[in-house]
A and B are shown apart, each in its own frame.
Chain A
């Protein structure tokens, strides 16, 4: 699946990923390949991307949309990596 992490200031991440773990409003959850379409709001917290390498971002709130193996994370900001 392709993953995009966008903030208003810049595009933080774009590329292929095997999985992404997100700080959802109802708790952490993971999106894998072929996930059903979902829109969820996100809390402040840790976002982990697993692809060729593992990357961790601390995001400041936001929303995620997954559709047809394309995951888009709209975060208000990245606190630190």
Chain B
């Protein structure tokens, strides 16, 4: 039978752990709300930009922007978005695993030649790849301290510069896409060169039907220059959206993980209390038998 004092101590410690996980769940819920708000805020900008770009670039030829240039992928950069903190279930592990899968499946030749670089956004991924002696470029763990578009663009600027300079021939992005608090999907997408939009006939027909595409815009300074400016913006938005998504997913994952932890702590407490009461009962029973048998022995003499 378990020692009474020992069980009492364990109950106390499980209780305080449960309080912590409960508090963490609340905090994550609040942060999740803010993170999803940020995604919602981004949406009108992103969709407007996409409309404009689609309107303008439809008639533009290839090679208008250096970011569209398709090259043999000799040097590859993988951008892995993780979080700075753990205790979020399999959130970080999943992102890292997906990135590793991508490297081993698609870029194993480049990996052998040592031509795979990593940009890790978030401490967990950064630590993982530095420990394994990957070529990790820069340190972007501070982004989460002040997550806004301008700070995220700084990272994208570096990546785009590297691509134009020929430092990387292809840039892939791995992150957790936010579906809802309980569900995250891992997404692997190509950031650079910008994938060609699938020229869908149905879509083209639809576009012709809407009057908007027939509007004769005044374009300043010129169509080419506008598109040239819009494409980098779109790339920045893509990365920013990935980081926002990942951020929301992190809080969602942590919320569910902490919810489970609180639940498990509750179950543990229940069984601990049961064994505590059993031990207490047993102790009382032994004491009673001792007293009764002692009294019986006395009266018998």
Contacts and interface: CB of A to CB of B under 8 A. Distances in A.
Given A6-B48, A25-B225, A77 B217 contact: no
A65 B42 contact: no
A77 B237 CA distance: 12
A64 to B, nearest CB: 9
Contacts of A63: 49, 52, 226, 229-230, 233
- Majority secondary structure, B binding face: helix
Interface in A22-81: 24-26, 36-41, 60-61, 63, 65, 67, 72, 74, 76-77
B236 to A, nearest CB: 8
Interface residues of A, number: 25
Nearest to A72: B48
Nearest to B44: A6
Interface string B235-276: 011001000000000000000000000000000000000000
Interface of B: 38, 41-42, 44-46, 48-49, 52, 56, 148-150, 153, 212, 215-221, 225-226, 229-230, 233, 236-237, 240
Interface of A: 4, 6-11, 24-26, 36-41, 60-61, 63, 65, 67, 72, 74, 76-77
Given A25-B221, A40-B218, 10 more contacts: A8-B149, A9-B38, A9-B149, A39-B56, A39-B218, A39-B219, A39-B220, A39-B226, A40-B219, A40-B221
